[in-house]
Homo-oligomer: A and B are copies of this chain.
Amino acid sequence: MECYCQLEGVVDLLSRKYAMQVVCAVGLLGPVRYGELEDAFGEVSSSTLSARLEDLTDAGLLVRERYDEIPPRVEYELTDEGEALREHLDPLLRWAESRDLE
């Protein structure tokens, strides 16, 4: 019970590709458009990125704001819960980054 083995839910969500990076990226880039995220990631597949955005939105960690314009405009932002998650995630990714650079 004290070993986190039984964890599901959010952790499963974060265990999908790019999930952790998306949370931190949306947090740092503020209200951000789909294309900006795609550019930031560089080599992500659009289908996977949009699946991840949908997952995180459904989980209540992101809000998706769609403007009725042509060409379309959509902006993603963290909810309060998403921001809470990002604060826990940030030290982890920061550590991972410094480790990978060695």
Instruction: Summarize A's interface: helix, strand, loop or mixed.
Output: helix
Q: Which residue of B5, B28, B89 contacts A42 across the interface (Cβ within 8 Å)?
A: B5
Which residues of chain B come closer than 8 Å to A84, judged between CB atoms? 95
**Contact, CB under 8 Å: A96 / B15:** no
Q: Copies per complex?
A: 2
Which residues of chain B come closer than 8 Å to A20, judged between CB atoms? 4, 11, 14-15
Q: Provide 25 A-B residue pairs closer than 8 Å at the C-beta atoms, listed in order of the A residue.
A: A3-B25, A3-B28, A4-B20, A4-B28, A5-B21, A5-B37, A6-B41, A7-B21, A7-B93, A7-B96, A10-B96, A11-B20, A11-B21, A11-B93, A11-B96, A12-B17, A14-B20, A14-B96, A15-B17, A81-B99, A84-B95, A85-B95, A89-B92, A91-B91, A92-B92
Residues of A within 8 A of B (CB): 2-12, 14-21, 24-25, 28-29, 37, 40-42, 44, 81, 84-85, 88-89, 91-93, 95-97, 99-100
